[in-house]
Amino acid sequence: MFEAAIFDWDGTLADTRHPIVVSFHRALKENGLDVSTEYIERRIGIGASDTFREILRSQGHEVDEQLVKRLVARKSEIQVELADEVQLFGGARELLAELQGKVRVALASMNNRMVIGHLLKAKGVEDCFEVVMTGDRVAHSKPDPEIFLKTAEALGVKPENCVVFEDSIFGVKAAKAAGMSCIAVTTGVYSSDELQNEKADLVVKSLSDPKIAVFVMDKM
């Protein structure tokens, strides 16, 4: 029985791919670093800190945590500056509205609180979530299940009674490791086959897919 719906933000509820890529590139270039756009896109969902650490290691640099903090802070500043480019995906507002009062609704994003807080307010959806869990409140990035388990704990709901909405393989892995059901959308950079390979319970092309209502409502 579902008592809570937990949503990812980047690539799931909101089309943030371009602002994220631009913010990573600019923060890196300001520090004499850079990687391909694909490299960044394929890591959206694990959190900026771990992505920057991976980039430093991949280029033969020692991981300097102070540099990582500066890179994350700069990336966050740039992403906030680009907030006007962010749009909610079709069906997102309608689904969030449909779930209100029927299940507990939360957000669990590996982005940081400054960025998420700004975007939720800018897009007028901050009141849709009882709990907002962000990457700066957990010790481990997705695919570790920590962020989803902490969200369920904050809601007071058992993991097995939660359904997660995700777009990345990291998020699906985290949801399944947490013992939660998972609906995956192909609005991120991952294909239906990639998401199904991670054992998503349902894979859809958009949040307006009628199969979502059938899957969720039948278990409420």
CB 7 within 8 A of CB 108: yes
CB 20 within 8 A of CB 10: yes
Annotated catalytic, 84? no
Residue type, position 17, single letter? R
Residue type, position 28, single letter? L
Instruction: Show the beta-strand stretches assigned E in the chain.
Output: 4-7, 14-15, 87-88, 104-109, 131-134, 162-166, 181-185, 202-204
Q: Give CA–CA dist 215/220, Å, rounded.
A: 9
Please tell me which residue in 8, 10, 15, 167 is annotated as part of the active site.
8
What is the maximum alpha-carbon separation in the chain?
Answer: 53
Catalytic residues: 8
